[in-house]
Copies of this chain bind each other. A is one copy, B any other.
C-alpha cells in the first residue's frame, strides 16, 4: 500500500526490496573508473550479432539473465517486466525480451528510463499483486549514433558539450523482503522545457527537469541534500551537473560534495575522450546496478537519492526546430 507525501511524492509503505541487480557493459565502459564493478565487460561490442540494434538487445538479454542468476530465479518467476531503451519503438527491449515469456510493459523516458522502470517495478510489488518484478534498460553507442546522429563510418565531429552514449545495460529484480536495499519513495518527473534546441547539449536540456524533481521531493519530505549519504543524478554529465547546482542554489538548495553524476562516473572524461561525459539509458542503469546498489548492499551507502534524467526529443522533432523537453524521475533508496 502506497501513500502520498506532500504534493507529489509516493511513499511505498511495504518498502519493496532489491533482490538482485546486474550490469553489463562494453569495452570502453569496462576501461572506465567503474570497470571492475560490472558483472560482464564485452570486448566485442557487436556481441556476435549482425547489427548494432541486435547487439543492444543481446546486451539487455544478458543483464536480465545475470540478474536472474544472481537472484536465483527463472524468467517464469518474474510476473512483470518493465523495460525500455532509446531506439525507435523501444525495439532493443522488445527483441531483447522476446524469448523470455515474461509479461512486459514497455517504458519510455529516454535516459531517465532506469528510474522510471524501477519506480514502476517497485510500485507493482508494493501493490501486493506482484511477487517479483524486473526493471531493465539499455543503450548502445553504435545503435544510438546511427539513429540519432550519423552512421559511425561518417566520422562526424563531436562538440565539447556532446555526451557519449554508454554501451551498457542494467537490470534490477524487486521483491517483497524483510532485508536488503529498499525503495522507500519516488517522485515522478514532469516535463520541463527551457527552450534548449542544441541536441549536442543534452545536459543543459535535462538539468532544469532534475532541479524541478529534486526541489519537489525535498519540499514534500522536508529534507535537504545533506540528509542523504549521496545524491546520484544521471546523466547530466559535466555541463548539466554544473547547471543543476546553479539552478538549485538559486532556491537555496546546496548540492554539496555528496552529489555524483552517473555520466561523470562511468567514464574518465579527459582520458577517454567522451567530452561532457556519458549518457544513454544504459549509463544510469549500469552505474546503479554495478556500483550504487552493490555499495548499498555492502553497507557503504545507506540512504541515497537516485535521479535519472531524460531528453524527450526525436530526430524528427529536432529537424523541425523544436526545443528539447527534459524529464527526471527520483527514487529514495535505503538499507536496513
Contact = CB atoms under 8 A, between A and B. Distances in A.
A120 interface: yes
A325 B103 contact: no
A48 interface: no
Interface in A115-140: 116, 119-120, 123-124, 126-131
Interface stretch (A17-25, A38-46, A61-69, A314-322): A314-322
A88 B314 contact: yes
Contact of A107 (B107, B312, B317): B107
Number of copies: 2
Interface string A83-123: 01011111100110110111111111110000010011001
A191 interface: yes
Nearest to A315: B88
A53 interface: yes
Contacts of A200: none
A70 to B, nearest CB: 23
A4 interface: yes
A128 B11 CA distance: 10
Interface of A: 1-4, 8, 10-11, 50-51, 53-54, 79-80, 84, 86-91, 94-95, 97-98, 100-110, 116, 119-120, 123-124, 126-131, 147, 187-191, 193, 312-317, 320, 322, 325, 327, 329
14 contacts: A1-B1, A10-B129, A53-B317, A88-B316, A90-B108, A91-B312, A91-B314, A101-B190, A102-B190, A104-B188, A105-B188, A106-B107, A108-B108, A123-B129
